[in-house]
Amino acid sequence: MNGLMMDFPLTLVHLFERVGRYFPRTELVTRRPDKSIHRSSYGEFHQRVQKLANALQRLGVKPGDRVATLGWNTVRHLEAYFAVPLTGAVLHTLNPRLSPQDLTYIVNHADDQVLLVDDVLVPVWERFAHEVHPRHVIVWGHGGPQPAGTIDYEQLIAPELPSFAFPRIDENQALGMCYTSGTTGRPKGVVYSHRAVVLHSMASAMPDSLGMGASDVMMPVVPMFHVNAWGLPFTAVMTGTKQVFPGPHLDPASLLGLIASEKVTFTAGVPTIWMGILDALDKNPGAFDTSTVKAMVVGGAAAPQSMIEAFEKRHKLTVLHAWGMTETTPLGTVSRLKPALQAAPEADRFRCRATQGLAVPFVEIRAVNDSGAVVPWDGKSMGELHIRGPWIASSYFQNPIEADKFTMDGWFRTGDIVTVDGEGYMRITDRAKDLIKSGGEWISSVELENALMGHPSVKEAAVVGVPHPRWTERPVACVVLREGSKATPSELREYLEPLFAKFQVPDAYVFMAAIPRTAAGKFLKTALREQLKDFKFET
Ligand code: AMP
């Protein structure tokens, strides 16, 4: 017997209409490139999105067409987040930090028909403009000159009506797409459906997931070109939450300034951002008011336990560690202490919060070893993380080569190596390709990095396996010291020795000014391995 419920599609239309109706006075704040503050509201947003949707239709955008954006986190980008999918077209966010070659490949592969670009990013666009062929280029102007052949955004939408006749959208229709910032091979496109984004927003907003409501003030520091800023702008529209967009200014002082002036309660970004913020707070105690912040979500790379502890103990700030991927929309797991663990000794509580946590509702995980067996949840057995759920990709956009990531029995193979403990807390040990194999034993680079970043003189550390004549590979630590701090290789070694088995401790420590990063701000280990490939170990 079937249930007797209405067939009501899970699409952005509902989120958009709801925020316009119930939260028109809630603010949307953007820091412009010249650092001035722009204020608008969901009421204004509700009208401007419909004007943009009408303008896109007038330009000939059809359902299914891809409309690309090249922009920082701003309210205008949020307008595109809604206007494009509401016409039935597909929002394709481009990462301006990618090389012109990658951007060319991605825009051509996605067959982008229209491009919206921040005027401050026009120089990025010009580096690959001659290789790609969108029909229209629209510029979000901030007072700079208007490049020839482009359309000014404000002039485009000014004559349009602020009401739009929404086409009927199926919940499985594509809403957006994003290419993964892989370190090998060609970038791969992930296509998100309306249904996936709506369900992902509901799961993210739940109090035991990321937790967001109408009385929050949310500042996404994670870029809107990186997995839709982890879906947070969509979640915030669903919940009627005030949003604060930092624009191109991601330095600690600018972010801390916005946290204080806008009374931010919820913010999210990659560990590098929070390391910078921690440094700024440590150096200027009391200079920034962060008392309104309830959660700082850290994901995209492992949040070192030392960082979580430092924020909490020195600044009363709560780090919420989460894990996800472009292919998972991205929220997969969040580390919050279960009630039963809240009375555990402090060291155990921090250890638990530094894991990647429990899968959120409707996401299922398992870890599978080399022989294809699902490993027990004992906190020790390692396996590749497999994941499934309603917002997990089932294939890449027009890319049959990578089809083997998707197993026949409906799981996505993440390439992350994990353990899961008896309570269900998942811990990432490494990316499969970053695990170090020394004398037949596996060594986790992530655990060494997290430990090294707990040393008071170490600002950043990345550990890679380097070919070794006797042991196949040995770990080498690449270390960036804090300004004005000193540490010798033997001091770092002594620091690690009590924490690791002898064979796991790196043999060499290479000091550098900065660790090379991917376009998403993660350590670029391929570059480090290349740099160190002729490294000679002392005998
Ligand atoms: P991306 O698709 O660029 O967001 O990259 C996803 C990958 O980032 C995952 O497969 C993990 O290897 C890594 N990652 C994301 N979140 C975390 C986390 N909290 N801890 C460790 N690694 C993470």
User: How does pLDDT run across 355-387, given as a tens digit for each residue?
Assistant: 999 999 999 999 999 899 999 999 999 999 999
312 CB neighbour count, 10 Å cutoff: 16
Burial class (CB in 10 A: 0-12, 13-18, 19+), 431: middle
Q: Provide mean pLDDT across the span 452-480.
A: 91
Burial class (CB in 10 A: 0-12, 13-18, 19+), 424: middle
Q: Judge contact between 419 and 448, C-beta under 8 A.
A: no
Identify whether 298 is part of a domain: no
* pLDDT of 34 above 70: yes
Identify whether 41 is part of a domain: yes
Q: Which residue has the higher pLDDT, 518 or 115?
A: 115
The confidence score (pLDDT) of residue 180 equals 87
Mean pLDDT across the chain: 94
Q: Which two tokens mark 335? A: 């580390």
Identify whether 339 is part of a domain: no
Residue nearest to atom 3 of ligand 1 (CA): 181
Residue 155: name the closest of 139, 137, 134 by CA.
Answer: 139
Walk across the sheet containing 112-118 and list its strands: 151-152, 136-140, 112-118, 66-70, 90-93, 174-179, 189-193
Q: Provide mean pLDDT across the span 8-14.
A: 97
| Closest atom of ligand 1 relative to the 227 alpha carbon | 4
Pick the last residue of a domain from 149, 168, 195. 195
User: How does pLDDT run across 159-176, given as a tens digit for each residue?
Assistant: 999 999 999 999 999 999
Range of the domain at 135: 8-195
Identify whether 470 is part of a domain: yes
Distance between Cα 42 and ligand 1 center (Å):
32
Identify whether 180 is part of a domain: yes
Identify whether 325 is part of a domain: no
Residue 244 to residues 34, 260, 311, 381, Cα–Cα distance (Å): 16, 12, 22, 42
**CATH code at position 503:** 3.30.300.30
Distance between Cα 80 and ligand 1 center (Å):
26
Pick the last residue of a domain from 165, 195, 225. 195
Residue numbers annotated as active site? 180, 327, 437, 442
- DSSP annotation string for 358-382: EEPTT-EEEEE-TTSPBPPSSSS--
Residue nearest to atom 8 of ligand 1 (CA): 300
SS3 386: strand
Distance between Cα 64 and ligand 1 center (Å):
29
348 CB neighbour count, 10 Å cutoff: 12
- Residue whose tokens read 């509580």: 349
Q: By percentage, how much of the chain surpasses pLDDT 70? A: 99
Q: Which two tokens mark 178? A: 């994003």
Which residues on neighbouring strands pair with residue 114, listed in sequence order? 67, 136
Pick the last residue of a domain from 167, 195, 223. 195
**Band of pLDDT at residue 521, cut at 50, 70 and 90:** confident
Residue 116: name the closest of 63, 176, 76 by CA.
Answer: 76
Identify whether 442 is part of a domain: yes
Amino acid in position 410: G
The confidence score (pLDDT) of residue 470 equals 80
Distance between Cα 386 and ligand 1 center (Å):
14
535 — phi, psi (to 5°)?
Answer: -60, 135
* pLDDT of 147 above 70: yes
**CATH code at position 168:** 3.40.50.12780
| Closest atom of ligand 1 relative to the 431 alpha carbon | 12
Residue 104: name the closest of 70, 78, 73 by CA.
Answer: 70
The pTM assigned to this predicted structure is: 0.90
**Band of pLDDT at residue 401, cut at 50, 70 and 90:** confident
Identify whether 522 is part of a domain: yes
Residue 399: name the closest of 189, 107, 192 by CA.
Answer: 189
* pLDDT of 402 above 90: no
User: Which residues contact ligand 1 via a Cβ below 6 A?
Assistant: 180-181, 227, 299-302, 321, 323-326, 330, 356, 414, 416, 428, 431, 520
* pLDDT of 338 above 60: yes
The b-or-e profile of 29-56 (16+ CB within 10 A means b, else e) is: bbbbbeeeeeebbbbbbbbbbbbbbbbb
Domains identified in the chain, total number: 2
